[in-house]
Amino acid sequence: MASSHTVTTCLSPPVHYVICKLGFEKKDAYDINNILSENGEVCWQALTEHVCYLESDQSVDYIKSIRSLGPVCESVNLHFKSLTKEKFVIQYALWFHWTNCTELFVEVFDVLQHTQTTGVALALMKLTSCLERALGDVYLLIGKDCPFLLRDLLASEQLAVVFGQAVMDVLRIFIGSPYGLNLRNVLWHGFASPQEIPAKYCAMLLFLTAGLGQLLQMYLLQTKCVLVHRPYVIFVSSEELDVFPDLSHEALSIAEELVKLSSFVLQTMIPFWMSALTAFKQSRYADCVILLLPQLEVGLRLLFTTTNKCPNRLLTAEPSALYTTFDEMLAKHLDNEEVNQLPAVLEEPSMELLWDFLNHQEGPRIRDRLSHGEINLEAFPREVANQIVAFAITLLCRFSDEDVFAFKEHMVIKPLMNCASCYRSQFHPISRLKKQPLRRVKYVVLSQGYTLHNIFHDNIFEVLECMKSIHLWPELPVVPEEHVQTIKGLEGNAEASTLISVISEILSQLQQYIPHNCYSSDDPVNSVLTERLLIELCETRVCTLYSPRPVLEILAILRKISAQCHQVSEQVIASTELRYKRWMNRNLRSRQRHNYLRMLSSIKFLSPVLRLILVMITLELVNVHLVCKKNQFDYQQYLKFLKSLLQYTENLVTYTSLEKNKWDETTELTNKALIKIRKIHDRKLMLMQLAT
């Protein structure tokens, strides 16, 4: 790994010039009264006069505009420094209410009074994150589906309608455009060191945010609209996020020593690392993670550029090229189609952890959610910050030019290294198929009038949880004694007996793919489908990194099938308990009693068929990567079969619902499904068959 001592900046010369020098070229003093009225309102017209445009296409001339706005920013910074906190709150606090983060902006004012370098950078990251979220809320006054990227949001017609195009042009000079100062991206991606971000730009964004609040108030009064703030995503502690043990004060002290020794850390970035560790000690967990995530990106970028022999990509790119960010560093191939060497250097457990915390759609996606303002910073949990800091410590240990053997073997560090070395993905679709919601609300959006979504799941096997649900069926309330003989008549039910016979036959064919200790030929229906079998299959490690599209397509269908099976089981349990209760209370009419008895009869074959499906999809999951060995025709036939199986389970959900209650129809449905299962097995199109 290249020495971190030789890198003095991660800003390319043109970007360094734009951020660190361009806005200081005009030395003229600027009178704050030109842009601030006596009653404390921002004079936008005076501000927009500093925006210069290209003659060719009338787009913003960012170079001239930044140069012209430089003295204005300095004047705003001096203005804020001249105010007491009380005066600032009286004059400006009202205009930050539209952001739903008034306290954060008051905190930014406090930072500007002391101008600590890491403090200014942190304040800017938090300010831009909050501002983006608030602008998204304003966008939704007019538009739908708020743009994910800040640059698209700022360039939208919707915001131009509310604030005016010239005002949006001012904002884009500071954030959102790679041609401007681009302060948000430069900081959140870890390119700027603490001393490279002028405090006056932070002051200017604080000032502009207040001005936007004034414009928005006028718009809302004119249109009679009401600004609604989208709910925050809230992380709730979960076993899935508890990868590392809780960090002690001793571990944090060792981390501070490692920061100074490790080649994973650029020397210019050490203040960020130390501030992050200090924030953790002070229980400022959001601040800690906001400071640390960009530094993880810098360290990995240094490792990426060294292992792939492309040192120039350590720097910020020009507007015409992409930055080297997490997305690119975690990818399988480089943009020239060569194999990315970073995954091999990091090794699979660390890659899986990075993908889980940053990229997988069902994971926490911590960096995305923080940088786009989706998380309430005041409620950021220690547990999540603990995981990020602990993982960072393992990287400090692993990638060092110094002899850190003593650190690696230290009693508080060694457990962290062990946890990192044996991590398995929790949020890849393969992992999600093995899991099922037990506690339904794990990370949810909490807000009056909003439905719960983005659910995290407990560390419970999905198929196993469904199996547990089915195992409750025999314990359901029995029908009253005088009707026992009616129920026993099922043994003479030819259709049900035939279905159970077919299930037994299929299970016998599956025997060769099932571990011997999980199969009993004496009673295949009841003995093969045990929790022990599913636990053993689900414990089988299946590669999750870089799953090809066919694998992801199959996984999506298998997950839907599993979810439908679970819903059928839950409906059966709910229906049985409800109808039994109504029977005992003499609230069931004759027809309803007969229907109840037909339901109890259907359970006799529905239970084994659902268990058969669970075992099948688990066996297919274990061998899911073999789908890539199928030719196109066989793949399409296999896909068609899975979709038909999904359709069967979806129909079961409909027929077994309290509303439909069509139990006789389930017999015909099940018969057709079993015929398809036997047919696909006879044609040897199952993945488990390819494995042999």
pLDDT digits (tens, 9 = 90+) for 98-148: 999 999 999 999 999 986 779 999 999 999 999 999 999 999 999 999 999
Question: Considering the domain boundaries, does residue 2 fall inside one?
Answer: no
Largest Cα span, the chain: 100
- Distance CA(148)–CA(128), nearest Å, equals 14
Residues 490 and 630 in one domain: yes
Query: Which residues, in sequence order, are CB contacts of 159 under 8 Å at separation 6+?
Result: 135, 138, 139, 153, 168
Q: What is the percentage of the chain residues whose pLDDT exceeds 70?
A: 88
Q: Mean pLDDT, to the nearest integer, of 30-47?
A: 94
Q: Between residues 31 and 400, which one has the greater pLDDT? A: 31
pLDDT at 418: 93
Q: Confidence band (pLDDT; 50, 70, 90) for 445?
A: very low
| The domain boundary residue, chosen from 415, 445, 475 | 445
pLDDT reading at 653 higher than 50: yes
User: Domain total for the chain?
Assistant: 3
pLDDT reading at 468 higher than 80: no
Residues 196 and 285 in one domain: no
Q: Mean pLDDT, to the nearest integer, of 541-546?
A: 85
pLDDT reading at 451 higher than 60: no
pLDDT at 435: 65
Residues 411 and 482 in one domain: no
Tokens of 602: 């259907």
pLDDT reading at 488 higher than 60: no
pLDDT at 529: 54
pLDDT at 495: 77
C-alpha distances out from residue 264 to 269, 302, 366, 400, 466, Å:
10, 7, 21, 6, 45
- Distance CA(208)–CA(76), nearest Å, equals 10
Q: Confidence band (pLDDT; 50, 70, 90) for 1?
A: low
Q: Confidence band (pLDDT; 50, 70, 90) for 448?
A: very low
pLDDT at 253: 95
Residues 166 and 299 in one domain: no
Question: Considering the domain boundaries, does residue 346 fall inside one?
Answer: yes
pLDDT reading at 438 higher than 70: no
- Can you give the residue range of the structural domain that contains 173? 13-228
Residues 250 and 213 in one domain: no
Q: Mean pLDDT, to the nearest integer, of 518-540?
A: 67
Question: Considering the domain boundaries, does residue 3 fall inside one?
Answer: no
pLDDT at 579: 80
Cα dihedral across residues 564, 566, 569, 573: positive or negative? negative
Residues 94 and 53 in one domain: yes
| pLDDT tens per residue across span 155-201 | 999 999 999 999 999 999 999 899 999 999 999 999 999 999 999 99
pLDDT at 496: 77
Question: Considering the domain boundaries, does residue 452 fall inside one?
Answer: no
pLDDT at 540: 80
Residues 251 and 181 in one domain: no
**Secondary structure (3-state) at 60:** strand
Question: Considering the domain boundaries, does residue 6 fall inside one?
Answer: no
Residues 295 and 333 in one domain: yes
Whether 304 contacts 329, CB under 8 Å = yes
Question: Considering the domain boundaries, does residue 4 fall inside one?
Answer: no
The gap between the terminal CA atoms of the chain, to the nearest Å, is: 43
pLDDT reading at 440 higher than 80: no
Question: Considering the domain boundaries, does residue 636 fall inside one?
Answer: yes
pLDDT at 281: 97
Question: Considering the domain boundaries, does residue 520 fall inside one?
Answer: yes
Q: What is the percentage of the chain residues whose pLDDT exceeds 90?
A: 60
Residues 118 and 162 in one domain: yes
Q: Mean pLDDT, to the nearest integer, of 297-308?
A: 94
pLDDT reading at 50 higher than 90: yes
Residues 422 and 368 in one domain: yes
Place of tokens 């928005």: 216
Residues 423 and 493 in one domain: no
Residues 550 and 660 in one domain: yes
Q: Mean pLDDT, to the nearest integer, of 356-374?
A: 92
pLDDT reading at 613 higher than 70: yes
Q: Between residues 560 and 585, which one has the greater pLDDT? A: 560
Query: Which residues, in sequence order, are CB contacts of 647 under 8 Å at separation 6+?
Result: none
- Distance CA(106)–CA(130), nearest Å, equals 13
For the chain, what is the mean pLDDT? 87
pLDDT at 599: 83
pLDDT at 487: 46
Whether 368 contacts 327, CB under 8 Å = no
C-alpha distances out from residue 247 to 295, 353, 417, Å:
19, 18, 13
Out of 253-267, 490-504, 599-613, least confident range: 490-504
Q: Between residues 406 and 372, which one has the greater pLDDT? A: 372
| The domain boundary residue, chosen from 201, 228, 255 | 228
Smallest CA-to-CA distance from 354 within 433, 446, 443, 425 is with 425
**How many residues in total does the chain contain?**
692
Q: Mean pLDDT, to the nearest integer, of 383-403?
A: 90
| The domain boundary residue, chosen from 445, 480, 506 | 445
pLDDT at 107: 96
Q: Which long-range contacts (CB under 8 A, 24 or more apart) does 275-283 make?
A: 275/118, 275/119, 275/122, 276/389, 277/252, 277/389, 280/247, 280/252, 280/385, 280/386, 280/389, 281/249, 281/252, 283/382
- Distance CA(65)–CA(179), nearest Å, equals 11
